[in-house]
Each structure stands twice: as C-alpha cells, then as structure tokens.
Amino acid sequence: MVTTYAITVPDEKKRERFERRRRSKNLRRRAVLPTTMLWVLALLMLFPLAWFLLSSFKPGSELFSYPLSFFPKEWTLGGYEAALERIDFARYFLNTAIVATVSTVLTVFLCATTGYALAKYKNPWLSVLGLFILSMTMLPGEVILNPMFIVIRDLGLYNQLAGVIIPSIVTPTGVFMFRQFFITIPDELMQAARIDGASEYGIFFRIMLPLARPIALTLAIMSFQWRWNDYIFPLIILGNPDQFTLQIALRALVGAENIEWTILLAASVLSMIPLVALYLVFQKYVTSSNINAGLKD
Amino acid sequence: MTATITPDASAPTAGAPGAPSLRRKRAFGRYRMAPFLFTVVTAALFALFFLWPGVLGLSYSLTDFRGWGDANFVGLDNYGKLLGDPDFYSALGRTFVFALFSVPLSYALSLGMAVAINAAHARGKTAARIIFFLPWLVSPIVTGVIWRWMFGESFGFVNFVIAMFGGGRVPWSSNADLSLLVVILASSWAGAAFNMLLFVAALNNVPKSYYEAAELDGANGWQRFRSITLPSIAPTSVLVILLSTLGHMKEFALVQSLNGGGPGTQNRLIVQYIYETGFKQSEIGYASAASMVLLVILMVIAIIQLRISRRSNNSW
C-alpha cells in the first residue's frame, strides 16, 4: 500500500499534465464541428448581403457580363452618384427619420406606462384593456387595411406623416415586454416609496422608468427598425411623393418596367445605412435581449 | 383576469345596502387615477385605430361601399361573391402553399442558428451573432431586391453558378413555382434572426444536467438534441410556428419588390389581393369581406395552435 502510494504520486503529476494536454486537445477537437456548423450558417446568411453590397460597387457593364466575379474588378461609386442624382434622398431620409424617431419615442413612453399599469395595478378596466391588447397580437393591421384608410382619411391625416405615426404607436409586443419586466420588480419597492411620500407618478417616473432602461432601449431599437422599414401603411396613407418614406421611394424604383439595377442597388444600400449604424452601436440590446418574456404572454 | 370582475358584478344582489359602493371601491383598488392616466392614451389609440376600423370593416363587408358616396346594405352578397371568385381562391391557395413551405423552413433555419450559436465549444460566437442579425435590419422591400438580384434569370449569381456546372438557365422569375420558391427562401432568410432570439432564450433554460446525464449514458449529439432539446423547447416551438404562420399569411412587401405577385398574378398573395381590390379597384365593401375571411382564418390558426400548445404543456 505504502509503496504503491509512493510510486503513484509522481505518476499522478505526470498524468495530470498529460490529462490536461489531452483535454485541451480534446477541447480543440470538440470545437471543430460546432465552429464549422456555426460559420457555415453565418456565411450562408451573410452571402446574399455581401453579394448585394459588392455588386453596388460594380460599374453597369460588369453587373451583367458573365463570368461574374465576387469582388468588383473595377470599383466605382457611379451607381451611388446616379442614385443621389435621381432620387431626392435628403427628403426621403428626413421623412423616414421623422416617422421612425417620433413614433419610437411615443411608442416607448406609452408602452412603458401601459405595461407598468398592467403589471402593478388591478382593476376591471385594466383587465379588459389587457385582453384587448392581447387580441392585437393575433390580428395584424393588414386585415383592417381598408377601414383603417377611411378612418385616417376622415381624421384629416391622409397624406401626412402624422397619419403614419399615430396609428402605429401602440404595439402589443412593447406593452407586454414592459409588463413582463415590471412584474419582476417587487411591490415592496412601491410600498416603500409610498411610505416615503412619493406620488404614484413620482414612483413611476423616478424609480420604475429608470429601472426599465434596458427594456426601453431594446424596444426603442426594435420600434425604430419596424418604422424605418414599414411599407404597407405608408403606402396607403402617403399619396404625395413629397411625403414618401424611403421604402415607398425604393418600391417606385423596383416596380419600374425596366429596372435600373445600378441605381436600385446603390439606393437600397443607402437606405440601410442609418439602421446598420444604429444596430452596430446598440447591437447588444437586440442580440442578447430576452424577448420571449415579451411575447409569451 | 376575469375573476376580478365577477365579484363586482354579483355584489348588488348579494351585499347589504351600501356594500356595492364599498365593493366597487375595492375592485378598482386604492389607486384609480394613476392607472387610468397611465393607460388612457393607449386605450384611446387602440379604440380609434384598431377597434373602430375592425367594426367598420365588418360593417363595410355587408355593403357595396366604394370609398365615397352612400353605402348600400347588401347583406351577405359580398361573401357569396367571394365564394365564387377564382382570383380570391387562387390568392388564398397561394398564400397557404407559401406558408406551408416557408414556416418549416424558417423554423429549421432559426432553430439551427440558435443551436449553433448556443454550442458550448463553438468559436467566434459574438461575430456570428452580429452576422445572424444583419438580415433582420433589412427591410422587406430591400430583401426582395437582394433576392431578385441573386436569382436574376440572365444575370443572377445563382444561374451563373448553375451554368458553371453545366446547367441550363433556370427560369426563376417566369416560372410561378420557382418564383414562389425564391420568395420562400427570402422570407425565411429575413425572419430567421427574430425567431432565433426566442429559441436562444428557450435553450438557455434547459438544465445543463440533462445533457451531462445523457452524455454519461452515451447519447450522441443528435440523440441529445432529439430527446432533450426538442421536448424541452416545445412551448417555444409552438410560439415560433404560430408567429411565423401569422407573419407569412400576411406577407406583402417582400413579394411586391421580389416579383410583384408575378409572373402575371399567379403569385399574388391574399394581402395583395385585398390591397388591389380595396385600393386599386376601390371595391372597399368587397375587399373588407375578403379581410374578414382572412381574419377568421388567422384566428382559427391561432386558436388551433394555442390548443395544441396547452395540451403539450400538460403532457410534460
């Protein structure tokens, strides 16, 4: 016993080192398959975008001549110049930015107050409202396209950016994201604040809203993306080219008899720049957000 | 939720005089003004831009309203006409075919992405995550442009690759079925990131010990995925299938820029049909009837899937 013990000690050390080396080798080997799978998928997802982006830098002659090459043989900004000349980008950018920004601010604020009330107060009025908002998740706005148009026209909002902004403010996803978050905040926090003499509004604005900052940011980015990329409601509500948003303007290009691909590709790339920039800055609020909390209820 | 209403409604008969007001006070809680003010704007917007158009749509569907002038009540005529309208059937049928193929594809794609990004040993997950989310940023219109560009018949990348391997020119835009296939691929590509987010949240909730136990028992990766992962994320699967079915049934913008519902009107989906009858031909009454049919279909889908999910929840 004693001898074996004495012998195994140095052996153990050696084996441990060996084990560790083997384990790291093992780990590397185990990383190969998942990493390959991950990157094959990533490249598959990236390819259409990359092809589209690189094509936008090709001159018109290169776009349609076989054999195609992945990278442009001759880099040019000609498509972009032509697109800027053809389309009144400044105006469309401004219109889209107004719609997306204003509706995002209002969406975040109203979804926060509504979600908070649904989470922290109990009365019949709220129960009914909660059920109504839940029903909105099932029924998309597309099924009320025609009457929606009549309502907006009768309110005098036809052909105005406000007509695009106001109907899109309330989103069930946003309300439930906030509701789910505020449910996790203990009621004791409210009670303590009440004892200290805070009003209901003070509790919300000075305690609860700051706590909900991550949710507010996630919803803000999502809402900004929704409104920036909206198509069907701007299409029916904005009839005047001066009021068009980017998506409607792009649709005019792609719907033409003869599509001018150099202009269309460049214009499409340009239309995405603000969103991509915003996304790269705030991407962790989107990609790591726990969205199922908002949608499950 | 409804439980709070019932005692309030039965209060007048059951309680002594004076009790109703006390009961009502309790039903509304100590705080009345704040929750009202917090929700009143939302409620007003909801009523004005959801409830009211809904009621209006239902009533238009019973008239021959054309957007101006008087609306004459025509009863169920619009619905009767819809039953015999081949355009309506073809649009609805095409929408079902589209959803039937694109829902499984986007389910598989987003689940695959979620599993790949959640794998413990994979390298470069942050970069892959950012890439996976890029298509989410792309608007449906631009998605249509991107895929139309890739699948161009005489200049597209895909036909170029096929030609390189000796294949002929594939009619991606003049054959209706192939054209729909491109729409299916494009919509799955565009919608995958959001569903992936739901799956990642669900995968993180599966206890690690299950996998460790299965590994000790000698289960391989596929067996672990089939017998642990899939059952554990079943509720999320139902949610994703529900959301993407509803999303695909109302596809509009992507088709508009990818093929405009063409060739001809063969790939016209139901929302495009409603849009064209309602706005191009101004048949608001008729289009509203078609909307109501779509609404009922969507509700039936939602109810069936929620039923299934409730049953499966019980069994686990």
What residues in A contact B38, CB-CB < 8 Å? 113-114, 116-117, 121, 204
Helix (H) or strand (E) holding B256: helix B253-258
A214-262 confidence digits (pLDDT tens):
889 989 998 999 999 999 999 999 988 888 999 999 988 887 778 888 8
- Listed range (A154-163, B79-88, B159-168, B291-300) with the worst mean pLDDT: B159-168
Helix (H/G/I), strand (E/B), else coil: B63: strand
CA distance B207 to A135: 33
For residue B57, the chain A residue with the least C-alpha distance is: A147
Share of chain B above pLDDT 90, in %: 35
pLDDT above 50: residue B6: no
Helix (H/G/I), strand (E/B), else coil: B155: coil
- Residues in contact with B271: Cβ distance below 8 Å, sequence separation at least 6, in sequence order: A142, A145, A232, B250, B251, B252, B294
pLDDT for A106: 96
Helix (H) or strand (E) holding B114: helix B86-118
Neighbours of A193 (CB within 10 A): 18
B191-208 confidence digits (pLDDT tens):
998 899 889 888 888 888
A210 touches chain B (CB under 8 A): no
Supply angle C-alpha B234, B239, B240, rounded to 5: 95
CA distance B84 to B119: 53
Q: Which two tokens stand for residue B38?
A: 């917090």
Q: Which two tokens stand for residue B263?
A: 């060739």
What residues in A contact B150, CB-CB < 8 Å? 48, 51-52
Q: How confident is the model at residue B12 (pLDDT cuts 50, 70, 90)?
A: very low
Share of chain A above pLDDT 70, in %: 89
Which ranges in A56-122 belong to alpha helices (H)?
Answer: 60-63, 78-86, 89-120
Helix (H/G/I), strand (E/B), else coil: A195: helix
CA distance A108 to A282: 16
Q: Supply the DSSP symbol for B16.
A: P
Domain segments of chain B: what residues?
2-76, 79-315
Neighbours of A189 (CB within 10 A): 14
| Number of residues that this document lists for chain A | 297
CA distance B127 to A156: 47
Shortest Cα–Cα distance, A244 to chain B (Å): 14
Share of chain A above pLDDT 90, in %: 43
What residues in A contact B128, CB-CB < 8 Å? 38-39, 41-42
CA distance B76 to B25: 46
Helix (H) or strand (E) holding B284: helix B284-315
For residue A36, the chain B residue with the least C-alpha distance is: B122
CA-CA-CA-CA torsion sign (B275, B276, B278, B280):
positive
Contact B263, B243 (CB under 8 A): no
pLDDT for A289: 65
Contact A253, A271 (CB under 8 A): no
Q: How far is CA A269 from CA A53, A92, A259, in A?
A: 7, 14, 16
Q: Supply the DSSP symbol for B123.
A: S
Contact A92, A244 (CB under 8 A): yes
Q: Which two tokens stand for residue A43?
A: 């490249």
- Give the pLDDT mean for B10-28: 46
Supply angle C-alpha B143, B149, B150, rounded to 5: 95
ipTM of this complex: 0.84
Of B112, B146, B164, nearest to A41 by CB-CB distance is B112
Within a 13 Å sphere around the CA of A95, how many CA atoms are in the beta-carbon half?
26
User: What topology does CATH give the domain B79-315?
Assistant: MetI-like fold (1.10.3720)
Shortest Cα–Cα distance, A285 to chain B (Å): 12
B289-310 confidence digits (pLDDT tens):
999 999 999 989 888 887 877 7
For chains A and B, CB pairs below 8 A equal: 300
The chain-wide mean pLDDT, for chain B, equals 84
A41 touches chain B (CB under 8 A): yes
